[in-house]
Amino acid sequence: MIMATEERVLVKPPSEVAKQRPGEIEDASWLPVKVKVRNLNFHYGGHQALFDNSIDIPASRVTAIIGPSGCGKSTHIRVYNRIFEIYRSHKAKGTVEIDGENVLSPATDILKLRKKVGMIFQRPTPFPMSIFNNVAYGVKLHYRASRGEIADRVEDALKRGALWDEVKDKLGEPATALSGGQQQRLCIARAIAVEPELILMDEPCSAIDPVATSKIEDLIETLRDNYTVVLVTHNMQQAARVSDFTAFFYKGRIVEFGATKKIFTNPDSGQTEDYITGRFG
């Protein structure tokens, strides 16, 4: 048993909510809310990138964020784990409540927040160390654990990241020697290893080939069972394939949010329809 350095927050099995396939869900109103965003505004120095974003991200589901380049998709999710803060000129105003706690409050413990909210980036970002140490890195940061326990945790995370079979014989090799798709799954495993509840994916497949992309999509499908996933994507087919809910962003505003099936077949907004049907963007 791993001794946690802090109180462990275990992922609640979402058994109370019957699982449906992506695209089958029509109504978000009866699902518990994981992230509740109200009036979120975001500034890059003098440039405002988000305008009054309000959205309820349902727990234990995959929510896709789509929209043309520069519409604020990435900016929006970068507020959830406050990663934007490492740049001085970036400022967010409004509330982002995760499990009822406003993460933008100064009282938030940012390290705990980032443990709870994992993030995957546009490019794979393996750390300059071995495959094993990449995954063990976060575990060592957040838990006091023996070598054996860390090894178990790494194996578990790599299995959940659908990478174990490919790397189990070369855990000591540098992570940079893996292919791009493998590196991205390694990053997902690294995020999973610290037991997050919410996983943010910022165009995770934009730098990898179609075969690797489909592996990652399969992986997202399995993550659905245990985590809340927010997936920013350029690829509308991908949003349609893997997500339960979709938000359409345009020029820093949330134009429409609803069940993926509805957004892609019968959107309320004409702008959404134009984007979905490829008339712009």
Partner 1 sequence: MRESTVERPSASPGAVHDQSRPDAVFKWLTAACSLVVIVIMAGIFFELVRNSGMAFREFGFSFLTTDSWNPIKGEFGAASSIYGTLVSTGIAMIIAIPLSIIIAVYLVEVAQPRVSRFIGGAVELLAAIPSIIYGMWGLFVFAALMQTHVQPFLGKHLGALPLFQGPPMGIGMLTAGLILAFMVLPFITAITRDVLMMVPPVLKESAYGVGSTMWEAVRFVSLKYGRRGIVGAVFLGFGRALGETMAVTFVIGNSHRISPSLFSAGNTIASSLANEFNEASEPIYLSSLFALALVLFCIMLAFQTIAHYWVTRMQRLEAGDR
Query: Which residues contact partner 1 (rule: CB under 8 A)?
Result: 81, 83, 86, 88, 111-112, 114-115, 118-119, 121-123, 125, 127-129, 137-138, 141-142, 173-174, 176-177, 187, 190-191, 194
Q: Rounded to the nearest whole angstrom, what is the least distance from the CB of residue 264 to partner 1 in the complex? A: 30
Tell me the backbone φ, ψ of residue 171, rounded to 5 degrees: -65, -25
Give which of 101, 109, 105 is closest to 93, Cα–Cα.
105
In DSSP terms, 50 is beta-bridged to: 42
- By beta-carbon proximity to partner 1, the closer residue of 194 and 263 is 194
Phi (first) and psi of residue 101, to 5 degrees: -105, 130
Least distance CB 34 / partner 1 (angstroms) = 18
Q: Which of 225, 162, 210 is nearest to 21 (CA)?
A: 225
Q: With respect to partner 1, which residue has the nearer C-beta, 5 or 265?
A: 5
Neighbours of 73 (CB within 10 A): 26
Distance CA 224, CA 198 (A): 10
Q: Least CB distance from residue 9 to partner 1, whole Å?
A: 13
Paired tokens of 90: 């970036």
Q: How far is the CB of 207 from partner 1 (least distance, A)?
A: 10
- Tell me how far CA of residue 60 lies from CA of 20, 102, 109, 145, in angstroms: 11, 19, 23, 28
State which residue, 132 or 245, has the beta carbon closest to partner 1. 132
Closer to partner 1 by Cβ: residue 134 or 246: 134
Our CB check for partner 1 shows the closer of 40 and 187 to be 187
Q: Which is nearer to partner 1, 122 or 214 (CB)?
A: 122
Q: How far is the CB of 85 from partner 1 (least distance, A)?
A: 9
Burial (CB < 10 A; 0-12, 13-18, 19+), residue 107, is exposed
Q: Cβ of residue 73: shortest distance to partner 1, in angstroms?
A: 16
